[in-house]
Amino acid sequence: MAYLFTSESVSEGHPDKVADQISDALIDNFLAFDVDSKVACETLVTTGQVVLAGEVRSKTYLDVQQIARDTINKIGYTKGEYMFDGNSCGVLSAIHEQSDEINQGVDRGSKELQGAGDQGMMFGYATNETENFMPLALDLSHRILTELAELRRENKDITYLRPDSKSQVTIEYSDDNIPQRIDAIVVSTQHDEFDEDEAMLTKIRRDIIEILIPRVVAKLPEATQALFNNDITYHINPTGKFVIGGPHGDTGLTGRKIIVDTYGGKGAHGGGAFSGKDPSKVDRSAAYATRHIAKNLVAAGVANEVLVQVSYAIGVVEPMGIFIDTYGTCPFNMTDGEIAQKVSEIFDMRPFAIEERLKLRSPMYSETAAYGHMGRKNETVSKTFSQPNGESITLDVELFTWEKLDYVDKVKEAFEI
């Protein structure tokens, strides 16, 4: 019997994502001037206020208040009527130095012996149902909001948009797990005041269905375009008026959108958030590494769908173990345990080896903090960072290195594919 599966996304203006972006902007700035920085920072945003807290061990000094303001303005919170804007909000910093007791388990005489920054398990997932090896419902949810943000910044076809928004996509699958059609789409977007509420709802609904969705569909592969039809159930701003939003409407915290950040409910999640953590924290680095493994396994033809788990003990160099689940989609006679053994031989999962393989000591993290950490485009960009003393540095930074298919040939050789 056919079944439905749903995933959601939230925009860069969602309060939790505002917090994530501020935390990751701090990470990038610390790493830009001191690649060995150890950072774990949390952000809280609410009406007219930002609170920064956490632990840092770094040789550099930053104006963290200005970094927070610049991030907020870049997102689009630039007007006093939003009750939260980068130029006027208060910014309180309670960041202090990292504990020596934590640091002693991570830093060793040799970098190769670097211990895990914490205990826990991390998961990576990949599926061949999309070109970027991501679950389709989540991929579409992200695309809807990135296109909505483009429309907001263009301020031409739709001129009333504010930064906060959410999306959700429900897909009907066949018994053999093949997407059949889009069943429902939910879009809630913050907007300016309208003179009449009923006219507002009618216009927003029409603009989302007739302007936004066609722009999204036009950028999709033909096979995915075919899943859209005239029978889709749309819920556009289903609660009605949505003028009060962002951190004024809801308090935001770093790390509260971990399913949006990963696979939209597919696969599994170890529970650890990413944003605000430097790569010595395996919550982040090992989650990226397991995504890299899963994607290369699927691309190489080891399975149509793969879940990879790795686990660590704090301060211990080697992982506790690697687990593989191919959901019965491996086309040749090999157990998941045998696949896991080969994976452990191909991929070095020691924390420092992950950092080196994926270049995780680069200031690459601001771009991850909205619209998902996985399934994104691997590219190199130029980024400039400034210190309070006027010193600035411009770096070429490779983004989303865990999305590279650079191990496909090694996997094929190991599995004799």
Binding-site entries? 14, 16, 42, 55, 98, 164-166, 241-242, 250, 256-257, 273, 277, 281
Positions at the binding site for L-methionine:
55, 98, 250, 281
Positions at the binding site for Mg(2+):
16
Residue 317 belongs to what H/E stretch?
none
Beta-sheet strands, E only, within 148-227? 161-173, 179-191
User: Residue 372: which region, alpha, beta or left (left: phi > 0; alpha: psi -120 to 50)?
Assistant: left
Cite the DSSP H helix spans in 37-135.
64-75, 100-106
Number of Cβ within 10 Å of residue 391's Cβ equals 10
Give the SS3 label for residue 31. helix
List the one residue out of 21, 47, 8, 28 whose CA is nearest residue 266: 8
List the one residue out of 250, 69, 266 whose CA is nearest residue 173: 266
Positions at the binding site for K(+):
42
Q: Dihedrals φ, ψ of 71, to 5°? A: -65, -45
**CB contact set of 410 (below 8 Å; sequence gap of 6+):** 346
> Is 393 in contact with 385 (CB distance < 8 Å)?
yes
**CB contact set of 253 (below 8 Å; sequence gap of 6+):** 16, 19, 42, 43, 44
3-state helix, strand, coil in the chain (%, to 5): 35, 25, 40
Positions at the binding site for ATP:
14, 164-166, 241-242, 250, 256-257, 273, 277
Residue 284 belongs to what H/E stretch?
helix 282-300
Q: Report the distance separating Cα 73 and Cα 255, nearest Å.
A: 21
Q: Report the distance separating Cα 395 and Cα 148, nearest Å.
A: 30
